[in-house]
Amino acid sequence: MSAGAGIDWDALKAAALEVRKRAYAPHSKYHVGAALLTASGEIVGGCNVENATYGATCCAERTAVVSAVAAGLTDFRAIAVVTQGPEPGTPCGICRQVLAEFSADGSLEVLCFTPNGAEARYTVAELLPHAFRL
């Protein structure tokens, strides 16, 4: 099966854009949305939730993963992440490691995009080639 086969990227992008509207970003004003596609076809959204200390901030990607795990879903196929600015932002280092936890072979697909149409696609292995593994 080719990369991205059977993935409805338009649905993932729409879900990420919708959940981005609920981001809590009073400090940075940088709103991020993520939509995680599970192996069963469910889409789980997440948005960034900031905290005044920044260290307690939860990124959109991790919010989506945590929400999926809380719902009993741990087998993921892809994630779409929408950021603002002229170029798409990629997941931070912590988010990359969290995504790697749920992608043993690194094949989880990551689509980073902006509302203006810029996009880039990666695998977790490309974003984090030497993920920490126990």
d(CA 113, CA 32): 10
Ramachandran quadrant class, 93 (left: phi over 0; alpha: psi -120 to 50; beta: rest): alpha
Q: With contact defined as beta carbons under 8 Å apart, do 61 and 95 qualify?
A: yes
Look up residue 41 and give its two tokens: 């076809």
Based on the residue annotation, tell me whether 119 is a catalytic residue of this protein. Answer: no
Q: Which of 18, 42, 50, 61 does the annotation list as catalytic?
A: 61
Residue 97's contacts (CB-CB under 8 Å, 6 or more residues apart) are: 128, 131, 132
d(CA 107, CA 59): 21
Active-site amino acid positions = 61
